[in-house]
Amino acid sequence: MDGSISPILLDGPGGARIRNLTRRFQGPAVLDRLDLDIQPGQFVALLGASGSGKTTLLRTLAGLDPVPDDAVVALPQPVAVAFQQPLLLPWKTVHSNVALGLTGADANARAAEALAEVGLTHRLHAWPATLSGGEAQRVALARALVRAPGLLLLDEPFAALDALTRLRMHALVLDLWRRHRPATLLVTHDVDEAVALADRILVLEHGRIVLDVANHAPRPRDRGAVEFLTLRTRLLERLGVYSHEGVFA
């Protein structure tokens, strides 16, 4: 442990720094003295079964849950989130959704530019209700990226999409990440997704990080390659869904 006691929520020196984060609602701790550093520009995937504390960690980093007094949470600002659901405001056009909360004279131009980056220039003035699931999630990505985030939180943003759209979204996210290089934390329960995208993969269990592996394979990654499959098996085993007889879940 780092020794810092005071609660801090301000610009970290480059990367994200979390120390001694404990969250307890009733019963056992949901997050248990969690320490985590994310380097600037690093793409980290966080795996964990339901109830492992993924959501609580993400909510705390997003500023939606309070930081306890004895914890340190120093994050590169601004923090932007793409949620599991797109959560677009249905009464605002796609463009206004992306521009939400932006200030400055160039806000509109920046929003349009972000939408161009996710390939939605032709949907600028569409109502969210007319978008497909993939389009809506791309708008949500544009809304997060337009803020030039220091830390980008991705909360299972592809979980609700069909398999093909999900693969396209993976490519898009990688492309955007390479261009903007925010420190990125992708929360997911999809091991393949984690191995395909991240530099570093964490497994959360009972509120603690029980596995922290680097993944330096060059991108784009071949999902059939031996090292891909080896890492995948290792992670599945750690998550307790893989035995020698095969996959249980």
Partner 1 sequence: MSATTMGRPVVSSIRLAWSFTGWRRLVTPLVLVLAWQALAMTGPISVRTLASPLQVLVTAWGLTVSGELPWHLAVSLGRVAAGLAIGVSLGTGLALVAGLSRLGETVVDAPVQMLRTLPFLALVPLFILWFGIGETPKIALVALGTAFPIYLNVFAGVRGVEPRLVEMGRVFGLDRRGLIGHVVLPAALPQALVGLRMSLGTAWLSLVVAEQINANAGIGFLINDARDFLRTDVILVGLLLYALLGLLADTLVRGLERRMLAWRPQLVRN
Candidates 203, 231, 241, 237; CA nearest to 53 is 203
Sign of the Cα pseudo-torsion (195, 78, 179, 100, in order):
positive
Distance in Å, CB of 196 to partner 1, minimum = 26
Distances (CA, A) of 87 to 95, 151, 154, 156, 208: 14, 19, 13, 13, 29
* Nearer to partner 1 among residue 150 and residue 191 (C-beta): 150
- Phi/psi at 148 (nearest 5 deg)? 45, 65
Distance in Å, CB of 227 to partner 1, minimum = 36
* Nearer to partner 1 among residue 79 and residue 203 (C-beta): 79
* Nearer to partner 1 among residue 80 and residue 231 (C-beta): 80
Q: What is the per-residue burial (b if ≥16 Cβ within 10 Å, else e) of 37-65? A: ebeebbbbbbbbbeebbbbbbbbbbbeeb
Distance in Å, CB of 203 to partner 1, minimum = 26
* Nearer to partner 1 among residue 64 and residue 210 (C-beta): 64
Which residues contact partner 1 (rule: CB under 8 A)? 62-64, 78-81, 83, 85, 87, 89-92, 100-101, 127-130, 143, 147
Distance in Å, CB of 55 to partner 1, minimum = 12
